[in-house]
Amino acid sequence: MDAGPGQAIWLWLIGSWLALVLLQPQVHRRLQGVFYQLTGHPAHAILLYSLALLPGVVLHEASHWLVATGLGVRTSRVSFRPKLQTNGALRLGYVEMQRVDFIRESLIGIAPLLAGTVVVLVLGMSVLRIGDVGEQLTQGSWRTAGALVMAAVRRPYAGIWLYLAFAVSNAMFPSPSDRRAWPFVGVALMAVTALLIYLGLGLRLWGVLVPALTGAAHGLASAFTFAAAIDLVAFPLLWCGELMLARLRPLSPFQV
């Protein structure tokens, strides 16, 4: 049975999200590896890596701060400096704030994803105007899709817009601490939904929510697809660059 338009959008969202989940860690490792081969020093490589993603890190932490401030949550410090954690993970930035209820904490945590999605969509659809590429590909019009891509990369300052989309999309996903309150929100939403169904309001709620959720899914899927396409191009370039530099300057493996 063929999937309807609504189902297709959700399948598209899941597929584009999975593509990013698989691609982004590899892109980050290759980017760190290139800078390590260039500098020969892990600390210098981490600094250059954080600078390469700085626009995305600034947007990530600024969105935390703005939403926290708007929700009346006190913040004490904002940092964009990279720092190694005790568990070996690398933190590119952070916002220190008071502990609050799980609803406000979840809204603050999801802010970077929403802000990053908006920026990536604006860069891709409004600035570079690649919105029709996906439609042409699904119709099998590869030549037309290729022409649209070439037109996009020839636009003024296309390199800058693509770099900004790369930096933002590779820093917009919430960290584990950002997602800490999400399970509580999920349980609360399920409880509210069950109550509405019990009261006989489930169908009415479904009719209101489905169009809004479908529209949001379409926006997320479009942004994820654009981000995945950029990473799909960036990964082999970074990988080849790292291999070439390793041949010129053999070093011990890079470890964060």
What is the pLDDT at residue 25?
Answer: 93
Coil/strand/helix, residue 104: helix
What per-residue string of b and e applies to 115-144 under the rule 16 or more CB within 10 Å gives b? bbbbbbbebbbebbebeebbebeeeeeeee
What is the pLDDT at residue 254?
Answer: 59
Residue ranges of the chain with per-residue pLDDT less than 50: 1
What residue spans define the domains of the chain?
Answer: 7-248
What is the pLDDT at residue 48?
Answer: 93
Report the predicted TM-score, pTM, of the whole model to 2 decimal places: 0.86
Average of per-residue pLDDT values in the chain: 85
Question: How many residues are given for the chain?
Answer: 256
Q: Which residue has the tokens 């603050």?
A: 108
